[in-house]
Structure 1
């Protein structure tokens, strides 16, 4: 009964969010109608495209990035990011020292339970329950990048649109600002973030379908849903660079009417690959999505050379009524490029050692079993070598 009640509450929460999006759409339609009525007898000085953009910008104030929880609560300085990740890592280390394990059991309602405290190995003197070696912050970062790339792979395999992939990755990033990968299994959190993203973005996929598609138990997806929502502070509206890329491409077409459609399409495809790469870095937590999109466009344009990007940036800044100078914007884009250039995507073979440490931290008994197997294998190798030495060579 408790499980069903919690799932109904989660479903009601997400449905409420979807109704809010519907109300915003209705508000847009009503505003457009009101504007048309108001200007029925007045010749419009704006062309129709600019008029639509104007009415749209007025109607989505509630969902505007500048006034969003995304900007208010989930944008950080580089130092703040380092401090949050370090704090999560240190808390997991204290848990490991106190309980002998970092694994937190999660109930369906999001409540947590810690493992039973184990006697410290130093007090035992027998080494049977030696504390496993914890992951350091750099190893945790590698683990997060590895699973963020897995989110992209899973979303690609299911044919999900970019907005679902981007939302899931940002949820994943936000979750692990509050937790260490040693506390919550990133494989399970990854799946729950994808599932939650699908619901928020109104792309219906059941937990059973998602779990079956990648051969995972769908119950772990549902069991982690409330802890993910709580860790996100129920801030489910996410702004990703992909939509901004589409907007800038349309604007570029108006900026330079001589652009070849084929070249512009190639620029768009290359840019989205650049954004995919950007999403695996800390950049989405440091810079607004519009700047991330512009930086990806600039990097792609350096290869495809579709337009004079410097002149385009100057044109953009002139439209913003002095909000940013071209020089300031260029510095921001260069800072983003610097973050993206440091990205190193780990391969599965590079992650074996880190994954082994993670498993030992979450389940220390595996470390004891591994040591026993290694000791047994070493003893067997010595015995075989000894037997070989006792056998006389055939030529004697």
Structure 2
């Protein structure tokens, strides 16, 4: 149950300012560690600023989503959602200047498959890196297995993620059984699914309970279809006499929608510059072993589309 979960206790935060402070702290922690190495010629211009880190985070998060969506066999939504949440939690307290997102994103996907019991072998998993050679896939797997324990530790061993997909199914069932005013609740599914997909690419899962994200998705879908569901909120959800709770809920929903509207992918020309800085940083302050560095190094090896046919 979410109410008693580690997610609610340790990974649900009061606001965006708190999240940004944590990310700033992670950025500062790496800068301090780098400066303490005593390397000559260090300057602030070498390091990534927070907005640059954020742009690269969104780039690699999108690549993680592309990898999961192209995965064969088809990866369940809950596994994808868990992988994205692992990625977001990891970089809440760590800088991408210290741990390159290229391998962390694959480690997040690999761990989520295991935790959510999506049974694919390690060979099957790296087999989805379609542009890699078999030898390259083997090197990637070695890196994933090396980073897996680090990821688990940085997640504080809190591996169960409560996604909003199950609550949304529960709400659709509830609408069918207790809200006869609505003729076809299933008509809300597509738009609600789209909302949840967008929410997964934001901090919504770090700020709101999954049930609230699911309810917002349903109400947003109904609103787009011109359906008023206030009576469902007041009568079926028992909020008629609790105007204070209802008001707070609507306020949270507005905050969530604002969060989603504010999401955008970074511009390609900016990303190119930031990536060059990131690679220079990792070359300069390589904290990992040579074995790790020889592994998964090319962004292009994460296929964004499944291979449809063999040549």
Q: TM tier, shorter chain?
A: 0.7 to 0.9
Q: Does 1:227 align with 2:150?
A: yes
TM-score, normalised to structure 2, is 0.81
Unaligned 5+ segments in structure 2 are: 287-311
Q: Which has the larger radius of gyration?
A: 1
What is the rounded CA distance, in whole Å, between the counterparts of 1:193 and 1:323 in structure 2? 41
- Root-mean-square deviation (CA, aligned residues, Å) is 2.4
SS of the aligned residue for 1:189 comes to helix
- Out of 120, 123, 128, the position equivalent to 1:213 is 128
What is the rounded CA distance, in whole Å, between the counterparts of 2:90 and 2:243 in structure 1? 32
Provide closer, same or farther for how the CA distance between residues 321 and 174 of structure 1 changes in structure 2, counting only shifts above 3 A. Answer: farther
What is the rounded CA distance, in whole Å, between the counterparts of 1:70 and 1:333 in structure 2? 20
SS of the aligned residue for 1:222 comes to helix
Provide closer, same or farther for how the CA distance between residues 303 and 235 of structure 1 changes in structure 2, counting only shifts above 3 A. Answer: same
What aligned pairs does 1:1-396 form with structure 2 within 5 A after superposition?
Answer: 64-78=1-15, 79-99=17-37, 118=39, 120-121=40-41, 133-158=46-71, 159-214=74-129, 215=132, 216=137, 217-261=140-184, 264-305=185-226, 307-318=227-238, 322=242, 325-346=245-266, 348-364=268-284
Provide closer, same or farther for how the CA distance between residues 333 and 151 of structure 1 changes in structure 2, counting only shifts above 3 A. Answer: same
Q: Which has the higher helix share?
A: 1
Equivalent residue number for residue 44 of structure 1: none
Per-residue CA shift, 1:257-300, capped at 9, x if unaligned? 25344xx3342121111111111111111111111112222222
- Aligned length, in residue pairs: 275
Identify which of structures 1 and 2 has the higher relative contact order when contacts are C-alpha pairs closer than 8 Å and 6+ apart. Answer: 2
Unaligned 5+ segments in structure 1 are: 1-63, 100-116, 123-129, 367-396
Cα pair 2:179 2:232 within 8 Å, conserved: no
Cα pair 1:167 1:238 within 8 Å, conserved: yes
Provide closer, same or farther for how the CA distance between residues 365 and 182 of structure 1 changes in structure 2, counting only shifts above 3 A. Answer: closer
Provide closer, same or farther for how the CA distance between residues 139 and 326 of structure 1 changes in structure 2, counting only shifts above 3 A. Answer: same
Provide closer, same or farther for how the CA distance between residues 138 and 316 of structure 1 changes in structure 2, counting only shifts above 3 A. Answer: farther
What is the rounded CA distance, in whole Å, between the counterparts of 2:117 and 2:285 in structure 1? 42
SS of the aligned residue for 2:127 comes to helix
Per-residue CA shift, 1:112-143, capped at 9, x if unaligned? xxxxx53x127xxxxxxx77621111121222
Provide closer, same or farther for how the CA distance between residues 135 and 316 of structure 1 changes in structure 2, counting only shifts above 3 A. Answer: farther
What is the rounded CA distance, in whole Å, between the counterparts of 1:251 and 1:201 in structure 2? 26
SS of the aligned residue for 1:361 comes to helix
Cα pair 1:170 1:238 within 8 Å, conserved: yes
What is the rounded CA distance, in whole Å, between the counterparts of 1:273 and 1:91 in structure 2? 36
Cα pair 1:97 1:131 within 8 Å, conserved: no
What is the rounded CA distance, in whole Å, between the counterparts of 2:256 and 2:155 in structure 1? 24
SS of the aligned residue for 1:325 comes to helix
TM-score, normalised to structure 1, is 0.65
Q: Runs of 4 or more off by more than 3 Å in structure 1?
A: 258-261, 319-324, 347-350
What is the rounded CA distance, in whole Å, between the counterparts of 1:309 and 1:231 in structure 2? 41
Cα pair 1:70 1:235 within 8 Å, conserved: yes
